[in-house]
Amino acid sequence: MDINILTVFILAIFVGVEIITKVPPTLHTPLMSGSNAISGIAIVGAIISTKLDGNIGTYLGLIAVVFATINVVGGFMVTDRMLKM
């Protein structure tokens, strides 16, 4: 693994934690439901990764598709629940 990729990943974790902790509780649910809906992009990437050579890429891609789909459906469910309030 390239050290630059690992550095960007670790910095993204720190930035993500800092951003999420600064959001007030009244805005947390709408922002999270919107960001979960944006996870549809992850589904496209996961589908592409299932076409990689080898069984490991196919299985990991399948797992990624399942988790990203759960995330997207959950985001839409939270949004629907908020709109019914």
Q: Is 36 exposed, middle or buried (0-12, 13-18, 19+ CB in 10 A)?
A: buried
Residue at token pair 């496209």: 44
Q: State what percent of residues in the chain have pLDDT above 90.
A: 7
CA neighbor of 47 nearest in space, from 26, 23, 67, 20 = 67
Q: Which two tokens stand for residue 78?
A: 């939270």
pTM above 0.85, yes or no: no
Q: Is residue 6's pLDDT more than 90? A: no
Looking at residue 14, its pLDDT comes to 92
CB atoms within 10 A of CB 68: 20
Whole-angstrom distance, CA of residue 5 vs CA of residue 8: 5
Looking at residue 37, its pLDDT comes to 66
Q: Where does the pLDDT of residue 83 fall: very low under 50, low under 70, confident under 90, or very high at 90 and above?
A: confident
Instruction: Give the mean pLDDT of 50-65.
Output: 80
Q: Is residue 73's pLDDT more than 70? A: yes
Instruction: Give the mean pLDDT of 31-47.
Output: 76
Whole-angstrom distance, CA of residue 56 vs CA of residue 15: 31
CB atoms within 10 A of CB 37: 16
